[in-house]
Amino acid sequence: MKISEIYKEDKPTLSLEVFPPKTSEVFDKVSSAVNEVADLKPDFMSVTYGAAGSTRKYTTAIASDIEKKGETALAHLTCVNASEEKIKDQLDSLKAAGVENILALRGDLPEGVESTDEWIYKHASELIPVIKKYGDFCIGCACYPEKHPESADMRADIEGIKMKVDAGCEFLTTQMFFDNDLFYNYMYKLRESGVSTPVTAGIMPVTRANQMARIIKLSQAFVPRRYVAILDRYGDKPEALKQAAIAYATDQIIDLLANGIEHIHIYTMNKADVAEKIMANLSDIIPSCADKGR
Ligand code: FAD
């Protein structure tokens, strides 16, 4: 099913992100973790695409398994260092697997690479027409409530978002954020700029202390004092940190829904138990979370 159709229904939704294996040796292990996430029956599941296409065949295999289970898959696709032929091949294999939704991304610049000048496709907005050329996909893109680290300022960042929407992006999924006020402020600016595309709020339950350092490096997300205190106190107590992360994510999601945000996306890191507990906390709030973990 296309995500644009899911979003037309007038109800809050919850989607879950999983990642594919990097090598064939761990395929079965990762596939079984993804299967557990799919058993939670979210509104849809997104499958990431390894840096510069390093997991392309596994992204397709995992998305295909999700579709075979009768769930809706959203396959990520990046254009970093890609050719039209490579993109077409990936789209053909996703189409054959029954995948109807693509998250069109540029991808991160590989270590040591400063600019996209050498590449055919320099931005996600340039990938969108290629996807449209090779299939009838519903296309989503990424957006950044705290701006993309490469954007000079928020105005320039939103100009980039508008290019993606003009090219055919039908929904936006945010980078993870830990402070809802930053997200509300962003939504105001986005809507004021005329972007009316549905926005899915990306929430990350950080269940390991060392994860946070990596997240901050990659996304430059602001971590509120309340989360810093949790990490300080429970960073070396994995089960306590997991419980606190689930509570923090639940609190963030309830606040978002209470303030009229309809679409929530959880970065699960393939942890079905974490997603299940958050969904159980939302069982009377989001229809697809009903009866989870009871
Ligand atoms: P773009 O939209 O191209 O934006 C990148 C920068 O260029 C921004 O600063 C933007 O303002 C600017 N820009 C955009 N268009 C133009 C233009 N025409 N001219 C000048 N400047 C412009 N990475 C992966 O490798 N695999 C994944 O599966 C993956 N999944 C992700 C999912 C989500 C929800 C998010 C938020 C990110 C994900 N990423 C993934 C990371 C993403 O690839 C990086 O954040 C990357 O640096 C930017 O990708 P983008 O699609 O937002 O790029």
For 152-175, the DSSP string reads: SSHHHHHHHHHHHHHHT--EEEEP
Q: Residue 292: what pLDDT?
A: 79
By the 8 A CB rule, do 83 and 52 touch? Answer: no
State if residue 157 touches ligand 1 by the CB under 6 angstroms criterion: yes
Average pLDDT over residues 161-183: 98
Least confident of 38-42, 52-56, 171-175, 236-240: 52-56
How remote is the C-alpha of 203 from its chain's centroid? 9
Over residues 231-255, mean pLDDT: 97
CATH number at residue 54: 3.20.20.220
When divided into structural domains, the chain yields a total of: 1
Residue nearest to atom 33 of ligand 1 (CA): 142
Supply the pLDDT for residue 22: 93
- Reference 163, options 106, 202, 219, 118; nearest CA is 106
Q: Is residue 106 within 6 Å of ligand 1 at its C-beta? A: yes
Q: Model confidence at 264, in pLDDT bands (50, 70, 90)?
A: very high
pLDDT range class, residue 77, cuts 50, 70, 90: very high
**Residue bearing the bigger pLDDT, 228 or 109:** 228
Range of the domain at 102: 3-289
Q: Choose the catalytic residue: 9, 17, 36, 262.
A: 17
CA torsion through residues 145, 14, 271, 100, sign:
negative
Q: Separation of 23 CA from ligand 1 center, angstroms?
A: 25
Site to probe by mutation for ligand 1, drawn from 18, 76, 123, 163 as the one with most ligand atoms within 8 Å of Cβ, is 123
* Mean pLDDT for the stretch of residues 167-185: 98
Question: How much is the pLDDT for 59?
Answer: 97
At 103-135, the pLDDT tens digits run 999 998 877 777 778 889 999 999 999 999 999
What three-state secondary structure class fits 70? coil
294 found inside a domain: no
How many residues are there in the chain? 294
Inside any domain, residue 167: yes
Whether this model's pTM surpasses 0.85: yes
Confirm if 176 and 221 have CB atoms less than 8 A apart.
yes
